[in-house]
Amino acid sequence: MTISEKSFDIRPSDFQNPGLYLLLEDSTRIELTRQNIMDVARQYWSNPSKIPDTVKRAVDFQRCSFCPLKGEDEFCDALRPILPLLDIVDNFISYDKVMAIYKPDEKNILHMTTTTMQNALRYVSIISLMNHCQIGHKYWKYFTGIIPVQRPGEIVNRLYLNIYWYHRGDERQIDKIISDFYKEITATTKNQVRRLKLICQNDVFLNAFVNTQLISDILHEDRDSGLTIHFDKTGKALS
């Protein structure tokens, strides 16, 4: 029986904490709530044997050259929500089907979809790049209300609208934010993929980051065409 054919007993009371829940064909349940990620991360980073010294010293494993904390004797902050999950995620491949249930912070509702592991784990890659990264965290506010298991185009539309309303339709500000977002997220994503190649056993997280990079690519390419047609020159939504 495939994941799309399997029947799940979904009870809202079983999903109390905000975050992402994954249900697999063998009934395995993975809880990627922010609290769980933080708890596991604390345990992981307190164990110095988790990452070999050869990996720690590798050039590709160091902080980005433009990171404000470059040179400090610590791991890249963007790795913190990822590494503790590797032991679990490395048991799967990118295209394994899962039932993804996402609970946003601000609403007592659930978003459910059947998708692949790489698409579902876009949630963790977004947290990594927009919340923990020293460069990317300034963009976190633009991800308000975004459902990470949506299709890339839907995420891009909401991201554009958030940027538009946050900067009150100021075209120069919008153009600058989108350009900076594209350049910085492209650079940090490439560096993060290099780090993960040193420690990942399969491509799930690698592809999750590539999918997140795709969002910035679409936003950058379509900012003057497909997205802006929803507004007239006064900034009012067209019917």
Higher pLDDT: 141 or 35? It is: 141
Domain range enclosing 101: 12-230
113: nearest Cα among 156, 149, 158: 149
101: nearest Cα among 9, 210, 38: 9
Q: Using 50, 70 and 90 to split pLDDT, how confident is the model at 238? A: very low
Measured from the Cβ of residue 156, the count of other Cβ atoms closer than 10 Å reads 24
pLDDT of residue 125: 92
Which residues have C-beta within 8 Å of that of residue 14, sequence separation ≥ 6? none
Dihedral sign of CA atoms 133, 134, 140, 142 in order: negative
User: pLDDT digit string (tens) for 72-109?
Assistant: 767 788 888 887 788 788 888 888 889 999 988 756 78
Strands 29-33 and 19-23, how do they pair? antiparallel
Q: Which two tokens stand for residue 3?
A: 């994941």
pLDDT of residue 107: 66
pLDDT at residue 225 tops 70: no
Q: Which two tokens stand for residue 7?
A: 């029947």
pLDDT of residue 105: 73
Q: How far apart are CA 163 and CA 141, in angstroms?
A: 9
User: pLDDT digit string (tens) for 144-162?
Assistant: 888 888 888 889 989 999 9
Would you say residue 95 lies in a domain? yes
Would you say residue 213 lies in a domain? yes
Would you say residue 70 lies in a domain? yes
Q: Report the mean per-residue pLDDT for the chain.
A: 83
Would you say residue 239 lies in a domain? no
Measured from the Cβ of residue 202, the count of other Cβ atoms closer than 10 Å reads 16
Would you say residue 238 lies in a domain? no
Q: How far apart are CA 82 and CA 212, in angstroms?
A: 14
Q: Using 50, 70 and 90 to split pLDDT, how confident is the model at 14? A: confident
User: pLDDT digit string (tens) for 213-223?
Assistant: 999 999 998 87
Would you say residue 4 lies in a domain? no
Q: How far apart are CA 43 and CA 96, in angstroms?
A: 28
Q: How many domains does the chain have?
A: 1
CA distances from 200 to 24, 92, 133, 194, 196 (A): 21, 11, 19, 10, 6
Q: What is the pTM of this model?
A: 0.81
Would you say residue 110 lies in a domain? yes
Would you say residue 85 lies in a domain? yes
Q: What are phi and psi of 31, to 5 degrees?
A: -105, 105
Q: Using 50, 70 and 90 to split pLDDT, how confident is the model at 8? A: low
Q: How far apart are CA 230 and CA 239, in angstroms?
A: 8
Measured from the Cβ of residue 226, the count of other Cβ atoms closer than 10 Å reads 14
